[in-house]
Amino acid sequence: MALENMTIGFIGAGNMAEALIGAVLDAGLCPPNRVICADVRAERLRELAQRFGLRTCADNLEAIRQADVVLYAVKPQSMAAVLQETAKGLDSSKVIISIAAGVPLSTLSAYAPQPLRIVRAMPNVCVAVKAGATAIVGGPHARKEDLALAATIFNAVGRCIVLSAEHLLDGVTGLSGSGPAYVFMVIEALADGGVKAGLTRAEALLLASQTVMGAARMQLETGTHPAQLKDMVTSPAGTTIAALHALEKGGLRALLIDAVEAATERARQLGAMAGKADK
Ligand SMILES: NC(=O)c1ccc[n+]([C@@H]2O[C@H](COP(=O)([O-])OP(=O)(O)OC[C@H]3O[C@@H](n4cnc5c(N)ncnc54)[C@H](OP(=O)(O)O)[C@@H]3O)[C@@H](O)[C@H]2O)c1
């Protein structure tokens, strides 16, 4: 069944749910009356109903009963209680998507009495500007079309890849999950360089952010290997090669690899701690 003929139920109507709802509606993937939101905050539900014209519900279980696709968007620490409360409304007719960071498929399925079609997703904060990077992985009973449906939703807020194994989500957390913070730091540092060269802070920030976005777009849109793009803008004895030499001396590549590795390892540790807490 296409998304336009399904009802999506959001459990938790916070920042991520808002970004996803806005994108799904903007993309015309389904009409507002086919989106239902549940949250503990009544005023938040009123706000979203007013803004998007969607349906709301104070009762998570009732929202789930009305939904064909259930998207859990509460904080990870609320997931156990929410699953406990709502599991009786879940069955194999529904596609269940969770974006709760670090909550494994085994936890998501442990609360339900029957096998469920679960998709676990790891989006990043850039979904707020429809430039998110999301990876998804299906549980043992998820169908190909369930992953395609989830990918359609996350492609509406950026780009989405499908992973073959759940453990790879730790690396996704280390790369694109935590990655926006690394890039914010890079932008700030580039702007500092511009300020040192005499630009105002505002001028330097705009140029730094636009440069990062432009370079990323060039890579994504051309599909060209970044090393080739770099070579294209590096003229003999020019300014760029002088800067690249400085970056190599500072160990930029190893530093970024270390950063992704450190965050991946931390995600692994937190996942292991969450697994122990489940037992
Ligand atoms: N933000 C990101 O960049 C990002 C990236 C990747 C994954 N995620 C995941 O996305 C999920 C949502 O994150 P978020 O930033 O959107 O969080 P959020 O803004 O705090 O939204 C969660 C919403 O759920 C509500 N809620 C709490 N307990 C509930 C319950 N029992 N039943 C129904 N609603 C309940 C919260 O209300 P209260 O505020 O009153 O608690 C809040 O409105 C998290 O699991 C997070 O790990 C987020």
Residue with CA nearest ligand 1 atom 33: 39
Question: In which order are the strands placed within the sheet that holds 132-138?
Answer: 55-57, 35-38, 8-11, 69-72, 95-98, 117-122, 132-138, 158-162
The CB of 180 under 6 Å from ligand 1? The reply is: no
Question: How distant, in Å, are the alpha carbons of 80, 104, 225, 238 from that of 122?
Answer: 18, 11, 25, 41
Express each pLDDT in 203-255 by its tens digit: 999 999 999 999 999 999 999 999 999 999 999 999 999 999 999 999 999 99
Q: Report all structural domains of the chain as residue ranges with CATH numbers, in order of start.
A: 3-164 (3.40.50.720), 177-262 (1.10.3730.10)
Residue 99 CA to ligand 1 centre (angstroms): 9
Express each pLDDT in 77-134 by its tens digit: 999 999 999 999 999 999 999 999 999 999 999 988 889 999 999 999 999 999 999 9
Percent of the chain with pLDDT over 70: 98
Best mutation site among 15, 16, 56, 122 for ligand 1, i.e. most ligand atoms within 8 A of its Cβ?
Answer: 16
Residue 164 CA to ligand 1 centre (angstroms): 26
Residues 6+ apart with CB under 8 A from 14: 39, 44, 73, 74, 75
* 3-state helix, strand and coil shares in percent for the chain, rounded to the nearest 5: 60, 15, 25
Which atom of ligand 1 is closest in space to residue 85's alpha carbon?
31
pTM of the model: 0.94
Residue with CA nearest ligand 1 atom 3: 125
Q: How far apart are CA 102 and CA 105, in angstroms?
A: 9
Residue with CA nearest ligand 1 atom 5: 124
The CB of 16 under 6 Å from ligand 1? The reply is: yes
